[in-house]
Structure 1
């Protein structure tokens, strides 16, 4: 492994995390190394004041307890746009709360917010941040999350990322990391290696160049996280390999997240104690397992955990409550499109129906719409 000094940048690198939840704050903290000319900033919303005042307190299983003071903290995306306005006036004592965005733009824009394409066009929201030097990185759940960004930024390198981490923000500005730190990274061109651009112009060389640049950025990020941030399991992949990992993780997300809501609040391990729910979870995973080869052009590789292995591992993680259940209980929108809707539509376009996922999607979308109608009536 190269020494940390070998990663030092001759010019400052400015990285902006859009989203200051548990996952974003953890990975941002392992990427921020001012001594190596790598500066990480955050946009925050409800926890802005806490982070702008005291930074982020991290209680981690992997690295002990420490405080992450970002280079700058912004209360919104618009406040992080370079050269758009002077830094906001503030009475907060942390210097990070009064720093302006870098004048020459962001080198990396890392999106860690929930993917809710039915609620907002996040690619449009971050567009003012993106310049010719920028790379967009998406650390989000589900499949099909990259497509809106590729359509809006056809020439911009995009890195797609999948995480396996157990982390929670136990209060504003305080993050607890419980288990795992794996992050898998890969470039994104148009979805699969060798596929020509989706906009119909057939410019394969142009698409390949975007993937090549995305591959360079993928390797750079992984090197920083590994050599400087101490993440032993920051892994790089080809475009096809990364999409395969996305579809494989869907086995877990599509099986347990929706079922936690529809079963009345049962966590992942608790679901498996019920015989019928166990059969249901395995059925959802098998459906993803059958659909993936039609979408990806090849079966899941043998080293990826089978549905049976996933179930055995899940049984040992007692007490885990999936994010979709937490969002439902808090009255927040659910990641229905990227975890259920997109897979159903993508598989259908490849000639495969996914009836179990389609049923989960239809039921949860109807439940969410009914709850929102009720809330609307209560406000009248």
Structure 2
């Protein structure tokens, strides 16, 4: 199934029902005339979008490109009002941004059960009982409902974002620390779309997002490009996973600089987020050798922030990493409150 995180759809609200022209005979000793008793029409249905934490992407709208609400019914005789058109309520994932036709953002649905009215139903027409004049056959028609296109863009909600080159071990890491089960294999671009996983520690739980690996030239569309980087924009912290083994012909420093360059090309604000380096696959190297290698890398790139040495496959160093992440997220939320 293709992962869809942005799509344009049409929303067509219901039209309002027209008023009714109807008369009731009113016979008296002094008066013999018809009294207007046509009822009003019903209002057209509105269209709402509601965020739902149980939805993962926008695939549903790939097969439902047009959303329609019900038309209001026409008014009837004896002052009977037409039935209101049924509203259409559609669910979208938490983190969905809604844009108008000019790509101006209308709303960012960042929390569960948030809602927005994206199309307004047409107003109802008036029946002839509203016009008790000589022209008692007068009535008004219902108005048309909104008909327009909107653009939906999903930015996943996660506390921690994993980034790195293909085969760096990001998918193995998220599999070991969370309930997510992305595909793991020994070839590039095993991960084809983002995955979310919930990590539970003694202190707190947090959500991790894993995106497809980046390569040199991703900002120009090479590989899977940088389209998935937007899913890291809401993260509190980024983990740059680096394969420290000697399996890759390019040096770790060269690979770190490549990722930095691609992030800056995408958006400077993402590059300026809190970011830790996670050196992975230490199980493939001698302990003294990998420690010396890590120290040299950190010194050469003048890295001042936190860094960790782990083996995702062997679960080495994962407990300390998750504990520090939980502490950082807790402190960030305390400050923001």
User: Do these two structures clear the TM 0.5 threshold for a shared fold by scoring above it?
Assistant: no
Normalization by structure 1: what TM-score?
Answer: 0.27
Please state which structure has a larger fraction of its residues in helix: 1
* Higher normalized strand content (fraction of residues): 2
